[in-house]
Structure 1
Amino acid sequence: MTGSPPEDRPGPGIIGRRLVQFFLDEMLVFVPMLLLAVLVIVLFHPSGLVSLLPFLKVVVYTMLALDLVGLWFVTTWWPYRHGGQTPAMRWLRLRVVMLDGSHPSLRLFLVRQVLMLIDGFAWGLAGVVVMLCTRRRQRFGDVVARTVVVRVSKRSPADSPVDSMDEAAFPGPDGYLGAVAGPELALGRADVRLDGGQRNHE
């Protein structure tokens, strides 16, 4: 899907939305993994402190591994298959697009996620600083992947079924204008001739 290029400088409010979105996506993966780990410990914990400590280590490391897999799924595969939006991005009306407005490839979503190792430094402070310093509020992963996060406009039930355009992009053809008129011009029961007269329908 190709759209229009995003605006040069989104407002700083989008940074706050992105932080909330990142936290929600993290919780969407972490909370189920934590509940699963607690359930495994309660049901299968061995008796005795000597056996319990190695068991807890195995559970914790397994939970962290599953959490990484789940986070990759939510932040990489899911937006690639769902129009550039993670679940939390959909809730907060955000979307990842290329600088030309097109949809990023799976490789670019993977690049963005891998570079979270840099953006997440100091509890995410590095990414916030980069977003404040870049013109399009991009974190380092966005700069490398040539992507940008934009806000998605609201859509009422009366709007076109076509996906709504982003606020940071120019509206595409027929994005909100409804159906385009057909090439025929209704003239009642008569057609206009080139010589200025009228010819009745047969």
Structure 2
Amino acid sequence: MTRQSPDPWSRQAVREDLAAALPADFVAFYSTHHRAYLRYAHLQLGSRALAEQAVEDVFVRLAVQWPHVLRRPSVQAYAWTALQDAVTERLRVLARDRALVQTASFAAARDALRSEMETLESGLGLYAAIARLPERHYDAIVLHYVLGYPQREVAEVMGISYPTVRSHLRGARRRLARDLRLAWFTDSEEA
């Protein structure tokens, strides 16, 4: 069994002085989502510093707009879209594509994947195929398979329903199977 390296963002929390000045529900949202947002942004941007800047910008924006954010149909979906916008804007300014394949943390996460997926990556370009998926399928695959979040947590982070996550994963697996010409990469995945 491969040992994973420690998560560099495992202890992120709102500073105590700020937590006292912010609404408790915002602090709870931050505490729940900050780590996942950082890990996702790092995979996309390829830099810890860029990821931290993007995520902090998102949380500052959310904090400033918190009463408005709470009136949205889904706080999670609104915040996830804000994160995606921040990452996309940074990639646009840098004139770069997603850094998924090159990101060092992706290599560490890859070590935890099933041996079949590691074999596919080396022989068939699985990660390049993942990078070509439509946005929602891509996000679900990255959060679930690459970063290791359970499907229910993926739903929470993305602000969508659990059945929708399952649908995105199923659609992504089908597309990957088609793109990689695989028969076995289908609906047999577990939650």
TM range (shorter): 0.3 to 0.5
Structure number with larger C-alpha Rg = 1
Please identify which structure carries the higher strand content.
1
Please identify which structure carries the higher helix content.
2
Q: Which has the higher contact order (CA 8 A, sep 6+)?
A: 1
